[in-house]
A and B are shown apart, each in its own frame.
Chain A
Amino acid sequence: MSTDAALAAPADRGGPAQPLLRVSGLKKRFTVRGGGIFAAKLTLRAVDDVAFEIAKGETLAMVGESGCGKSTTARLIARLIEPDAGELVFDGEAVGRFGGMALKEFRRNLQMVFQDSFASLNPRLSLLDAVAYGPRMHGLSDTAARARAGALLDRVGLAPAQFGARYPHELSGGQRQRVNIARALAFEPRLVILDEAVAALDKSVQAQVLNLLQELKAERGLTYLFISHDLQVVRYLADRVLVMYLGRVVEIGPVERLYGAARHPYTQALLLAVPSMNPARRTERSPLSGDPPNPIDPPSGCRFRDRCSHAAEVCALVEPVLRESAPAHWAACHLDDPSSGHPEARTE
């Protein structure tokens, strides 16, 4: 298959122990104008020093309230937005650095599925054209690109003979999201970012798409960065969970450990907010009060302190850093650090 050589599956380089993607010191500030033309410009730290790793073949879920910087982080990783600072290392190669991996090559290894299935498809391209567009951009011939697109549509359950010539508006949301998945897979990527990819679908369709994603992952050895605010879906899909709050990572841990023994009060509150099937565990009271603080002017010290029931003096003074409290389980909270001076802090 000489025509396909341009899009041959990228090879594994560093072996299974090397993380597929290492993100470090990722920062992005947005400048927003205060009211009025002559008001001073304000800085919003959308993503503030985010660092994490994604291991090969795992599903890392990223959760948090709206506006906490999940999607911005995803777009920064995909370089759809230029980060102010930060480094990406993909399978041992620094992205966009001299001697490292070129951006185009990196994007081929990384694809994204967006939340809005309709907005992520060009209304004037037929489904087959939409999926074939990417491979064609990478130098595949027309015929080869379409053949590949047809096979992918078939794989996600949309028979190309029946659906190939259709337009996005003729499909249901679930079908459109399948097309988006097919398009993302057109490059044999190794990492797929699913940015709220199933959030807009109703529950039964959501389950179908999630199962499809699981199958594809096993079949193609994919790694997922799964961004979601649906903690039930996350529990079903993820291997590890990363919790973000106001542009910062507050907790990372294996999924069962995090759901069973969350360290950070914010994570605990999020988990309490999940509706339970068990009537005895239902709560009437919302575990989190108030809106997240204005990210333009976050509280000093711990950013969560003004909504936290455990807030103490030290929380206003010192910003907690991520600390490994149990194997592979990291949290950024003074409660979790015996040496923090927090009165309720865990003792070792």
Chain B
Amino acid sequence: MPEIARARQGYWRGVGRALRRDPVSVVSGAVVVLIVALALLAPWLAPADPYKASMLRRLLPIGSDGFLLGTDELGRDMVSRLMYGGRLSLVMGVLPVLLAFVIGTSVGLFAGYVGGRWNMAIMRVLDVFYAFPSVLLAVAVSGALGPGMSNSMIALTLVFVPQIVRVAESVTTQVRRLDYIDAARMSGAGTASIIRVHVLGNVLGPVFVYVTGLVSVCMILASGLSFLGLGVKPPEPEWGLMLNTLRSAIYLNPGVAALPGAMIFVTSIAFNLLADGVRSAMDIRR
């Protein structure tokens, strides 16, 4: 029936309209799009080879001829390295959260819907993870698994799973007790259908909102791991690692040394503000 389709579209169109009407969301969204586009299009847009070092033009300041944002400690072009660095940093910021989202929501749904002993067992085990500060946990797991990008992503996923499970579990527990679940059972629906139509639809929203806020945290943690030498290995450009290697140049050329940090800062702020915007736009009772 056409009005149903219209209603669905109506909801998402309403969310889009609310987002567009909020100037903060528009600006932060534009920043996110810009950074993602720059990272994706790096091979075509980058002015120089990000790996090509030159001892002659080390640590050129910002605004140097031919090197708009200067060069790093090995004389590599900062513009190119920041663009290429965005690729890894974004992947490391988004992928673990995405993985944790899938795992965490599934586990949380199960724990919340089944309840009882299962819930108790799952939640208490996760509380153990929860007891560690997330940075410490990420460093510990990453360190135990050994350095490398995939290992640090596993570590980051592990850090976020308990948090997402907790959100998903608490929302599921609330939803499960509502009368519409009983009404659905009365209409002869099986558990699978009830979870898919009635539980998941109402749990995904709050969890999604929570998860969008985690992207910036994850980016910072990932950069932190790279900074400590646990994530991406040189000479790969990655913002956290670049921050680390440029650390020694902070007295010689503070502007250039601060650039990767500024990128991390701007990106995570933009993600955070966008998440806030999406959160209020998605509130169905707005």
**A and B found bound together:** yes
Which residues of A are in contact with B by a Cβ distance under 8 Å? 75, 78, 80, 104, 107-108, 110-112, 114-116, 119-126, 128-129, 133-134, 137-138, 143, 146, 150, 160-161, 164-167, 169, 180, 183, 186-187
Distance (whole angstroms) from the CB of B56 to the closest CB of chain A: 62
Q: A137-B187, A150-B1, A165-B7 are in contact. Are A123 and B182 (CB under 8 A)?
A: no
Distance (whole angstroms) from the CB of B156 to the closest CB of chain A: 31
The 9 closest A-B pairs by CB, nearest first: A134-B187, A120-B179, A165-B7, A165-B3, A114-B179, A126-B7, A124-B201, A137-B189, A119-B179
Q: A119-B178, A119-B179, A133-B197 are in contact. Are A164 and B187 (CB under 8 A)?
A: no
8 sample A-B contacts, Cβ–Cβ < 8 Å, listed by A number: A112-B183, A120-B182, A122-B197, A126-B3, A134-B186, A137-B193, A146-B4, A164-B7
Bits for B140-161, please: 1 = Cβ < 8 Å to A, else 0: 0000000000000000000000
Contacts of B3 in A (CB 8 A): 126, 128, 160-161, 164-165
Minimal Cβ-Cβ distance residue in B for A183: B183
- Contact, CB under 8 Å: B202 / A78: no
A36 and B78 alpha carbons, distance in the complex (Å)? 62
- Contact, CB under 8 Å: B202 / A133: no
Distance (whole angstroms) from the CB of A160 to the closest CB of chain B: 8
Asked if B17 is at the interface of the complex by the 8 Å CB criterion, the answer is no
Q: A122-B180, A123-B284, A137-B193 are in contact. Are A164 and B4 (CB under 8 A)?
A: yes
Distance (whole angstroms) from the CB of B27 to the closest CB of chain A: 30
Distance (whole angstroms) from the CB of B8 to the closest CB of chain A: 8
Most A CB contacts (10 A, CB to CB) among B185, B188, B201, B284 go to B188
Contacts of A160 in B (CB 8 A): 3
Bits for B166-200, please: 1 = Cβ < 8 Å to A, else 0: 00000000000011101111111110010001100
- Contact, CB under 8 Å: A133 / B184: yes
A125 and B11 alpha carbons, distance in the complex (Å)? 11
Size of the B side of the interface (Cβ < 8 Å), in residues, is 27
Other A-B contacts than A80-B182, A119-B179, A146-B1, 18 sampled, CB-CB below 8 A, are A78-B186, A107-B185, A107-B186, A107-B188, A108-B188, A110-B186, A111-B187, A120-B180, A120-B182, A122-B184, A125-B197, A126-B4, A126-B7, A137-B189, A150-B1, A164-B4, A167-B7, A169-B285
Indicate which residue in B7, B182, B187 contacts A166 across the interface (CB closer than 8 Å).
B7
Asked if B10 is at the interface of the complex by the 8 Å CB criterion, the answer is yes
- Contact, CB under 8 Å: A112 / B182: yes
Contacts of A180 in B (CB 8 A): 183
Asked if B117 is at the interface of the complex by the 8 Å CB criterion, the answer is no
Minimal Cβ-Cβ distance residue in B for A138: B188
Distance (whole angstroms) from the CB of B194 to the closest CB of chain A: 9
- Contact, CB under 8 Å: B202 / A165: no
- Contact, CB under 8 Å: B202 / A122: yes
A215 and B240 alpha carbons, distance in the complex (Å)? 71
Contacts of A107 in B (CB 8 A): 185-188
Asked if B6 is at the interface of the complex by the 8 Å CB criterion, the answer is yes
Contacts of B193 in A (CB 8 A): 137
A75 and B193 alpha carbons, distance in the complex (Å)? 21
Minimal Cβ-Cβ distance residue in B for A166: B7
